[in-house]
Amino acid sequence: MIRRIWDITLTVRDLKRAVEFYENVLGLQKKYEFKDYAGFDCGGVEIGLKTWGGVEEPRKGEPCINFLVENIDDAHKNLQENGVKIVEGPKETVWGGCILVFEDPEGNLLQLTEIDWEKYFEACAPR
């Protein structure tokens, strides 16, 4: 049935602004861009940005895209330097991670996670 995630697509109002954010602030590599869609590679999963053309406002919020990072403090500093709105964190989790939730320019929630794998496997081990 399901083999893997192919892509995750977010709706945006301003494709140019969103593309600049995902390229320049988050550092994702753009694979291609069309009039109303841009695709980025994120470790084998495509992150898509699609312009919204509906009558009602698109819904923002969860579920969010969660990016794995090596150093959450460095990532937090980068987001702050780029004027990104931080929603939560960085904060430690009970499962050995540290998370930071923030918004892209369109108000979509995104999350960064740094994991201490030893603590993670210990916390998530069957009891």
Domain ranges of the chain: 7-123
Task: State the pLDDT at residue 49.
Answer: 93
Check residue 54 and give its pLDDT: 58
The model's pTM is: 0.73
More confident residue, 59 or 107: 107
CATH of the domain spanning 7-123:
3.10.180.10
Q: Which of 35-44, 70-79, 94-103 has the highest mean pLDDT?
A: 70-79
Average pLDDT over residues 31-53: 88
Count CB neighbours of 76 within 10 A. 20
Q: Is 43 left (phi over 0), alpha (psi -120 to 50) or beta?
A: left
